[in-house]
Structure 1
Amino acid sequence: MSNRFWNHQEPESEVYTNATIDALNFIVVHGGTPSRWRTFWFHMPWKVRGMEPQIVVLNFISESPMPKLERFEVKYDGAHHRKIEERWGKLLSNKPLFQHPPPARLKVAVLEWVPNPYLFAGSLAGRPQIVGLTRLEVKFPPKLPKLEDFGALLANSPMLEVLSIDTRINQCSHRSPNQGGQNLPTSLPRISLPKVRVLGLSFNTSHVFPWWGHSLLFMLNAPNVQSLRLLLESPGCRGRVPVNQTFIDYIIKGDDQTKPKPLFPLLTNLELFVEPIVERSGRRYPNQEILKAYPSITTLILPRPTELRMLSIQPWLVPCLNRLIVYARLASELRESISERCGADLGLKTVEVLVLDESNNEEIESKYIGELYGLGVEISFSHSKHRVREVLGLDDI
C-alpha cells in the first residue's frame, strides 16, 4: 500500500480499516491467491492512529492458507495509547496467526506489535506458529508473553542467524507495571542457538527489568554472536526502573562467576547505550564496563553523544577500534573525544557520521570535515536510516 493510501484526507481509523479490507479483497479477486504468496509485507506508518488496520491484516492472514510463504513482515510505527490491549480484545479473532500446519518455507519474520494471542494463545502451546527461521525480529507490545512461550518459539528455529528483540515503548502515556518484584522463573529452558551471529537486545528498562530481560538473556545460548545491538533505555515512560546490574554482569562475565569470561567471545561489532546505574555509593557506567570486557571490538556505534567521552578514558577502552559510527551532534565534542586516541596511534581509521532528517546537510558535513581535519582518520557520511542495521548485519538475510 502506497503513501498515497495512508495520506487519505480522512484520518479516522475506520477509513483506513475499510480501505485495507477493500485492498486485500481486490488482490484476491484479481488472482492474487494467498496460497501462492511467497512474500507478505505490511507497514503501519506513524501518522495512522489505532491498531484496527493491522488487526484486520492479521485476521486475514489467519484465515488464509499460505504454504509457500518465505518472508513475512508486519511493521508498526503508529502511536501507542493507554489501554491499547483492552481495545485489541474487541478486535482479535482468537485464531492463530497461520493456519495449521504453519508455512514450512518461511525463513524471515518481522513482527512488530503483533498481539500475543496470535502467537502464544493457550491452545497454541503445542502448535508453534513459526518454525525453521533464519531471521526473526520481534517488537513486542507492552504486555509481554510468558518467557516459556517465547522460548518455545525460539527453540523451533535452531538455525536462526539473526535475532532481534525489542520491548521499548515510544510515546508511552501509561505507567508501566512495576514488575521489579517478580521472581525469576526457576526452570527456564536453555535454548541453543549456535548459528546466531547478529543479536539485537533493545529493552525498555521501565518495563522489563529485572526479571523479563535478564531471564530471556539467560535462556539464550548464543556463543557465536559477532554483532550486538544493546540498547537499554526507557523512552518516553514514567516510573523508570534502573538497569539491573546483574544483567550487565552476566554480559561481562558470563554465567560462571568463578571463571568470568565475556558472554559473547567473538563479538567485534557493537551498538551500545545503557543508562547509568545510580547507587548509594555513586553512579556506575555500564557502557564503560562493557567496553572494558570486550577489547576486541573493531566497530562501535554510539547513538548518544554523551557516550563519546568514553573514548578518551585511559587505560584505553576498545584498543582495536578502527571504525566509529556516531549520529550528527556537535563536531567539536567528537574531535575532543578522539584526538588523543589518534595521537596515541591506536588505529582508528574511519569515522562515519549519520546525518538524518537534517535540512542543512552540507553545512553539517563541512563542520565535521573541518573539526576532524589533521587527525588522520577517514571521514564519511550516511543519510540512510538503515545504515546501522546494514553495518550490524540485521538486514543480511
Structure 2
Amino acid sequence: MGDPFRRDANVEVDKLAEEVRDTFSFIETRGGVPSRWRSFWIRTEVPSAHFVAIELLKSSPMPLLQRLEMLCGATSRLDEEGEFIRSDINDSPPALLFHEPPPPQLHVIKLEGVPDPLLFGHPSHPQLVNLTRLELQFFQKHPALDELNKMLTASPQLTTLLLDSGWVDPPDDPLTELDMSLPKIHLPELRELSFRDVQSVLWNLSILMMLDAPNVESFRLDMFDFHEPEVISQINKYLTRSGSDDGGLHKPCFPSLAHLTYENFGDADDDLRVILPAYPGLTSLEVPSGGSLRPLLEQPWHVPSLTHLIVASSGDMSVLKKVVITRHKADLPLKMVQIKLVDKGCYMSPYGMNPRDWKQVEKLVKVGFVDEDGGAFGAK
C-alpha cells in the first residue's frame, strides 16, 4: 500500500484511520485476502492509521508473507492523539505482533515506530525468526539488550541489520555502563551493519560487542548529537582493536570491511585518523556532513584501495579537490566521487568549488550526484 493517507490539517485523524480500514476491506472483498499476501508494505504519516495496519497484522493469518514493511513517518511530530496511543502501548503488557502462528516464510522486515511490547511480546520465544534482512527504527526508548539478543540469535542467516535510534528520547534510555554479560551472537552471513542516529553510544557499543560477525563488508555509524569523547573513544577502540589474529596481535572488528560511513558531529576528523589505518582494505568511504576529508588528505596511504568517495555538499569542496589531486599524484587514484545534495537544482555547481576547479576534478574522476537517500539524479 502506498501513501494515500498523507497528513492534512483539515482532515480529522479518526477519519483517516477509518479510511485505512475501508481500504483493507475493499482489497479483501475483491479477493486480496491477507492469507494470499506475499508482501505487505504500508507507509503513512498518521499514527492512528499506522496502528490500524498493526491491528490487521495481529488479527489476520498471513502464511505466505515473505516481506513486511510498516513505516510511519509522523513519529517525530506526533499529534496529541498519536502521542497518547504510542505512550499507552509502550506502557502496556506484551502482546503478539502476528496472528499465531507467525508467517513461516517471512525473511525481510522493515519496521518504524512499532513499540517494544509488540516486537518482543511472545512469552517464550522471539516472534521474528529466520530473517535475512532486519531494519528497526525504535520508538521513544531502546529495547532491553537481552530481548534484542534473543531476537538476533533467532536469525543466524541475517545478511543485513539496520538499527535506527532517531526516535529514541535519551532521557528515557538511561544506560550508564556497558553490558558485557550477554552471550555472543554468531552471524557469519552478515554483510551490512548500520547504526543510525545513535542516541546512546553505550547501547550501540553493547550491541556491537554481542556480535560475532567477521564477514561484515559495509558498516555505518551515525552519531548526530554530542556524545562524551571518552565514550566515542571506547567504540572507536573496539572497531579498530577488538579482534586478534593467531599470533595474538590486535586486528579490527570487521576484517572484511569494504565500505564505511562514519559521522560524528563532535570531531569526526580525529576519529577517522584512528579508524582508517585499521582498515586499509576499504574501497568505499562516505563522510557525511559531520566531518571533513582532511584525514584522507593527510594520510592517503592509510587507505590505498579507496576508489569510491561519498561526500556531503555542505562539506569543504576545496579539500575534496585536493584529495582527488593528491591521490592521483600518489598513484592511489579515486575512480568515483558522489556528492549528496539537498537542493537538486544546484547539483551542477557544488558549493565551495569554482568552475575551474570543478573541471579539474572531472578530468580525474567520475562524478555522480545523489539525494539524501542515496538516489542518483545527475551525473557528469
TM-score (structure 2 length as normaliser): 0.85
Are residue 326 (structure 1) and residue 311 (structure 2) matched? yes
Amino acid of the residue matched to residue 20 of structure 1? V
Are residue 361 (structure 1) and residue 352 (structure 2) matched? no
Are residue 64 (structure 1) and residue 60 (structure 2) matched? yes
Aligned 8 A contact 2:215 2:254 in 1: yes
Please name the residue that 2:31 is paired with. Answer: 31
Query: What are the superposed Cα offsets for residues 137-161 of structure 1, whole Å, 9 maximum, x if unpaired?
Result: 1111121111111111111111111
**Which 10-residue stretch deviates more, 301-310 or 133-142?**
301-310
Please name the residue that 2:159 is paired with. Answer: 161
User: 1:368 and 1:20, CA in 2 relative to 1: closer, same or farther beyond 3 A?
Assistant: farther
Please name the residue that 2:368 is paired with. Answer: 381
Are residue 52 (structure 1) and residue 48 (structure 2) matched? yes
RMSD value over aligned CA atoms? 3.1
Q: Distance in 2 between matches of 1:93 and 1:368?
A: 60
Amino acid of the residue matched to residue 99 of structure 2? Q
2:234 aligned to which of 246, 256, 280? 246
User: 1:113 and 1:163, CA in 2 relative to 1: closer, same or farther beyond 3 A?
Assistant: same
Show structure 1 runs of 5+ residues with no match: 278-282, 390-397
TM-score (structure 1 length as normaliser): 0.82
* Greater relative CO, 1 or 2 (CA 8 Å, sep 6+): 1
Amino acid of the residue matched to residue 18 of structure 2? N
| Paired positions, count | 367
Amino acid of the residue matched to residue 127 of structure 2? Q
Please name the residue that 1:42 is paired with. Answer: 42
Query: What are the superposed Cα offsets for residues 197-243 of structure 1, whole Å, 9 maximum, x if unpaired?
Result: 11112242xx3232x11111111110001111121222xxxx85554
Q: Distance in 2 between matches of 1:226 and 1:316?
A: 21
Where does 1:1-397 land on structure 2 (aligned, <5 Å)? 1-6=1-6, 8=8, 10-45=10-45, 48=46, 51-80=47-76, 87-90=85-88, 95-121=95-121, 124-169=122-167, 176-177=171-172, 179-181=174-176, 183-204=177-198, 207-210=199-202, 212-234=203-225, 241-242=228-229, 243-254=231-242, 259-276=249-266, 285-304=270-289, 306-314=291-299, 316-329=301-314, 331-364=317-350, 370-375=356-361, 376-387=363-374
User: 1:338 and 1:380, CA in 2 relative to 1: closer, same or farther beyond 3 A?
Assistant: closer
Q: Distance in 2 between matches of 1:270 and 1:231?
A: 11
Q: Distance in 1 between matches of 2:27 and 2:43?
A: 17
Q: Distance in 1 between matches of 2:61 and 2:137?
A: 24
Q: Distance in 1 between matches of 2:355 and 2:308?
A: 16
Aligned 8 A contact 1:351 1:377 in 2: no
Aligned 8 A contact 2:165 2:196 in 1: yes
User: 1:265 and 1:85, CA in 2 relative to 1: closer, same or farther beyond 3 A?
Assistant: farther
Amino acid of the residue matched to residue 207 of structure 2? L
Show structure 2 runs of 5+ residues with no match: none
Amino acid of the residue matched to residue 196 of structure 1? L
Amino acid of the residue matched to residue 380 of structure 1? V
User: 1:68 and 1:4, CA in 2 relative to 1: closer, same or farther beyond 3 A?
Assistant: closer
User: 1:196 and 1:186, CA in 2 relative to 1: closer, same or farther beyond 3 A?
Assistant: closer
Amino acid of the residue matched to residue 147 of structure 2? D
Q: Distance in 1 between matches of 2:285 and 2:260?
A: 5
Q: Distance in 1 between matches of 2:201 and 2:291?
A: 23
User: 1:368 and 1:352, CA in 2 relative to 1: closer, same or farther beyond 3 A?
Assistant: farther
Q: CA deviation at 1:62?
A: 0.5
